[in-house]
Structure 1
Amino acid sequence: MPDRAALQRAVRGLFDGPVAVGLSDPSMPQPGLFPEEEAALAGMVPDRRREFAAGRAAARLALAEAGHAAQPIPMQDNRAPLWPPGVAGSITHTRRLCIAVVSDRVRALGLDAEEDHPMDEEMISTICSEMEISRSGSIPEQRFATMIFSAKEAVYKAQFALTGALFGFEVLDVTLEPDAGRFAARFLQPVGPFAVGDSLPGRIAEVAGHLVTGVAIGQRPGKGA
């Protein structure tokens, strides 16, 4: 697994409020799953089973850090994790690691990690608009596209926890500020409570050969900045 301490620092730095972070290595054996989680494995190929088990292991580590007892995190009908009441969370994985974040101070979290490789050129037009690519500046287009992809994934996960809405990459317009480690994702179509022009801020970091992005929605009153 890449540098654990560096990853944890980077992930915590993606969010204004405190989050608990759990890490696991999908290439290694994982603790057993709860029966409620085992039910989700039916039909999964072996690689996906390993990713699922590693994701749940990371999630339980994050929950333990936040003071929660070990408990099942079932998969809902929409395939999203069912977190304990009052807890927001997000799980992401690459071939080399799984990361989970949880917090009781926000309504929703979105976390994404991508291995820091340039995107395949043929995928760029699917992920990014011409306007987005026009803002790449001195960053190579294929690497910039990977950053846009990760930002959109984090925003999508955060909004999905609230809306359950499925949509494509074209619904969001992402403006990156790589030097500041920030981005903003503007809605180009209405989605649930988000109107055209509404924007969600996020952060991006480069660490341990990965790009990681994070978005939080809705600080809960009386629970921090």
Structure 2
Amino acid sequence: MAAGGGEVTAEGEIRAAVQALFDLPVAVAVTRPGRAYPPLLAGEAAPIARAQPKRVAEFTAGRHAAREAMQALGHPPAPVLASADRAPIWPSGLTGSISHCDDWCIAVLARRAEVETLGVDIEDDSPLPADLLTEICLPAEITRLGGADLAAAKRIFCAKEAAYKAQYPTTKALFGFDRLEVTLSGDNTTFDARFTQDTEGFSRGDKLPGRIAAVAGHLVSGVAIGQIDRKGA
């Protein structure tokens, strides 16, 4: 009972933390990769036809989380197909984002009348591996961190992942970590992700504001683009 209760608590904590990343009402669902879920809906399995079991488990948990979030918005459960670039195709009137780590999967959805796109990410709250520092972080970011602060660098990685996911449905632009420069707030709970180059509808210097939180041994980050009559991420 204690283990189960702890898991329920962690799930609820993660859900609440993700909801708090956004100003607008969002539906958030949290699932576990590897649990038994109902079969995927028609057409959903194509992207994982040749995938390894771990990827199948993550994908299935993500689609299940997406449908839980749909129901929370009062939308009937519907397939979430994938485009040629494997990005989710959301049902008409909805927009969302899915992320997973080894032990959790999260889906966040909102109505398109409220926001254009969403980006969300979840990572283990552990230091960034030292050999990835210069791959993930720009020299200016490392300077602001005061050097090899690998815990803060992991937050920059998490922030860039959410910002990338938020911009992608609009730009369809594939790019590396050097296209976004992240500035963390003093308390590491908010950030700006600034485009370092012109990018399909965004100009160099344009910023995507976001929020980031530590919860249940994990980091979660969120970015919303085009919120209606609201400020911030």
Please state which band the TM-score falls in when normalised by the shorter chain: over 0.9
1:68 to 63, 71, 75: 75
User: Hey, what does 2:4 align to over in structure 1?
Assistant: none
Which sits farther off after the overlay, 23-32 or 98-107?
23-32
- Cα RMSD (Å) of the superposition? 1.6
User: Hey, what does 2:136 align to over in structure 1?
Assistant: 127
Alpha-carbon distance in 1 for matches of 2:174, 2:48: 23
User: Hey, what does 1:84 align to over in structure 2?
Assistant: 91
SS at match of 1:186: strand
- Matched positions, count: 222
Is this contact kept in 2: 1:108–1:216, CA < 8 A?
yes
Gaps of 5+ in 1: none
User: Deviation at 1:27?
Assistant: 2.6
Is this contact kept in 2: 1:58–1:100, CA < 8 A?
yes
1:209 to 201, 204, 217: 217
User: Hey, what does 1:54 align to over in structure 2?
Assistant: 61
Alpha-carbon distance in 1 for matches of 2:34, 2:41: 20
User: Hey, what does 1:146 align to over in structure 2?
Assistant: 154
Is this contact kept in 1: 2:66–2:98, CA < 8 A?
yes
User: Hey, what does 2:32 align to over in structure 1?
Assistant: 25
SS at match of 1:3: helix
1:190 to 198, 202, 218: 198
User: Deviation at 1:129?
Assistant: 1.1
What code does the residue aligned with 1:31 have?
Answer: P
Gaps of 5+ in 2: 1-6
What code does the residue aligned with 2:129 have?
Answer: D
Offset from partner CA, 1:146-199 (integer Å, 9 cap, x none)? 111010000000000111110110111100015161000111101111001111
TM score, norm. by length of structure 1: 0.94
| Within-5 A mapping of 1:32-47 | 32-47=39-54
Is this contact kept in 2: 1:110–1:156, CA < 8 A?
yes
Distance 1:92 1:178, change over 3 A: farther
SS at match of 2:226: strand
User: Deviation at 1:12?
Assistant: 0.7
Is this contact kept in 1: 2:62–2:99, CA < 8 A?
yes
Alpha-carbon distance in 2 for matches of 1:24, 1:178: 32
Distance 1:87 1:60, change over 3 A: same
SS at match of 2:83: coil
Alpha-carbon distance in 1 for matches of 2:70, 2:106: 12
Structure 1 moving runs of 4+ over 3 Å: none
Distance 1:194 1:27, change over 3 A: same
User: Deviation at 1:141?
Assistant: 1.1
